[in-house]
Amino acid sequence: MSFISWQYFIFLPVIIILYWLLPARRRLLLLLVGSYFFYGCWDVRFLALVLATTVIDYNCGLAIDGRKNGPWQVLGLALLPAAWCLGGYVFLPAAGISTPLLLISAAMGLAFFGGHEAVGLLARDRRPKYYLILSVVFCLAILGFFKYFNFFVGSFTSLLGTVGLNANWSMLSIILPVGISFYTFQSLGYVIDVYRGQSPACVDLLTFATFDAFFPQMVSGPIERGWHLIPQLAHGADFRDSHVQDGLRLMLVGFFKKVFVADNCAILANYAFDPQTSLNGYWAVMGVVAFAFQIYADFSGYTDIARGSAKLLGIDLMENFRFPYFSRTPSEFWGRWHISLSTWFRDYLYIPLGGNRGTRWETLRNLAIVMVLAGLWHGANWVFILWGAYHGALLMVYRVVPPFNRVSGQGESWTWRDVLAVPLMLAFTLVGWAIFRSPSVSHLGVWFAALGNWNPASGLSWQSSALWLLIHILPLLLLQVLAWKYRDEATLEHVPWVARGLVYAVMILLIVSSGEQDKEFIYFQF
């Protein structure tokens, strides 16, 4: 079920009305059932993976906090995914739940139960560390199998081929579950926080299951933290008019970004990066500019709709974007772009590796490791790994190479150096988006080669296409400038009401006039 669908326009009001009518305890049950229904609309089979992640991290979190469940409780919970598969196998034959999936779910549940009980036999002071390891191993194994198995097998096969060894291994037909990277990282972050003592373990299974599957942000983030979202779910909120006002404002801005900006920019970006397109310098530049606005409007638009949907329920989700294209340095860019992911990697990988506390070489090494893994997080493709490595190299250059290392990228007051740094950083960012959007590493070479060819090409006129692009990004640019002035990217709450009302009216008009475009959000594939 996409946010841009008639089903969601029915689903969300029903959930909101029932939520505010029900008593607090039943609200959680409603949110959990609604979230499972929302996710099941994509593919009901993969609810077993959501259940598995929930069961694993709920039990490990409790055990780390010294509140270990009894063996029978752990066993019963561990077999919940298998029970779901069995129920679907018997009562929902159309769902396509196969016997192997049922057996794998049961085997995984029993394996987790065995590991959980084995750790319980260790000395008390050693258990938390191994419960954390148990959670990390099982969750990353699930993520790794569904997202990376074929990639690594294919890459290893190709590597053997380069040395003359013919490994004719067949690939498995694996469907990537929607949102698996997001809810896996969110759940893992919770367990790590419990282990560090930064968050108490969630005792209530209903609350934790809702945290793991909360429908507004489950599929594409923001990747929430347990200490921020769980208390809001557990305690609920009193109804306020501001919840409705702020929620609808956020959703309107999100729909505008997605429908008017992102989907129209996608037309040009898809044409420019199509391997069949005869690319020249004009289209190479215009294509990557179109994609830069497409991915920003698409992803931040999704986040705005997610935050707005949650706000209508009285729940605050974290901000995920903060004027990223106004960044002066790579580190500032990553403090403004996909904030929930960049802070996740900072807190759970970069800092544990040593962060910037060691020597210069160790700091650069840590940056490289984190950014390559951040690229791999986006997908099982060498293009994403190269994109991560590119941003890692940018971070290194701005840290050690003059004059780049003299640009601080911090503080609200800007100097002339900051003003010059923004377009330079934007140019570097556009090169990164060219890598990210390229269908293959070889096609990336075609894009760079096109920058040396400024002869007109056949196909779409680049002049009329540039006008099309300007028409669809200019309203967003004006919105960003207005929002930057008031330091309020999403709701424009602090903008004078006359100007705000005019902006909202124009956005509604542009949304309605856009018609139907590509409804899928880019980050659904990650």
The pLDDT assigned to 310 comes to 97
Burial code (b: 16+ CB inside 10 Å, e: under 16) for 243-272 equals beebbebbbbbbbbbbbbbbbbbbbbbbbb
Q: So what's the pLDDT on residue 347?
A: 96
**Contact in structure between 241 and 267 (CB atoms under 8 Å):** no
Catalytic site residue from 116, 243, 338, 378? 378
At 120, the amino acid letter reads: G
pTM above 0.85, yes or no: yes
Torsion of CA 135, 77, 37, 259, to 10 degrees: -10
pLDDT (0 to 100) of residue 141: 92
pLDDT of residue 174: 74
Q: What's CA 26's distance to the chain center, in Å?
A: 29
Question: Cα separation of 244 and 248, whole Å?
Answer: 6
Give 166's Cβ-side CA count (13 Å radius). Answer: 0
User: What pLDDT is stored for residue 169 in this prediction?
Assistant: 60
**Token pair listed for 48:** 């077993």
User: What residues contact residue 134 under an 8 Å CB cut-off, 6+ apart?
Assistant: 56, 60, 112, 115, 116, 119
Residue with the two structure tokens 């930057």: 484
H/E stretch holding 6 reads helix 6-21
Interior/surface letters 70-103, b for 16+ CB within 10 angstroms, e for the rest: eeeebbebbbbbbbbbeebbeeeeebebeeebbe
| Ranges of each domain in the chain | 6-235, 243-325+462-525
In the prediction, which pLDDT does 391 show? 97
**Distance from first CA to last CA of the chain, Å, rounded?**
16
Query: Quick one: pLDDT at residue 173?
Result: 67
Report residue 414 as tokens.
């800007």
Sign of the dihedral through C-alpha 314, 319, 322, 324: negative
Q: What is the mean pLDDT of each run of 10 residues along the chain (526 residues)?
A: 89 96 90 95 87 94 89 84 75 70 85 91 92 95 88 73 64 77 96 95 95 94 95 89 89 93 92 88 92 96 96 95 92 95 96 90 94 93 95 94 79 76 94 95 90 73 83 88 69 71 86 71 71
pLDDT value at residue 457: 63
The per-residue pLDDT for 503 is 81
Strand intervals (E) in 118-218: none
- Would you say 193 and 344 are in contact if contact means Cβ atoms under 8 Å apart? no
Verify whether residue 235 is a known catalytic residue.
Answer: no
pLDDT at 349: 96
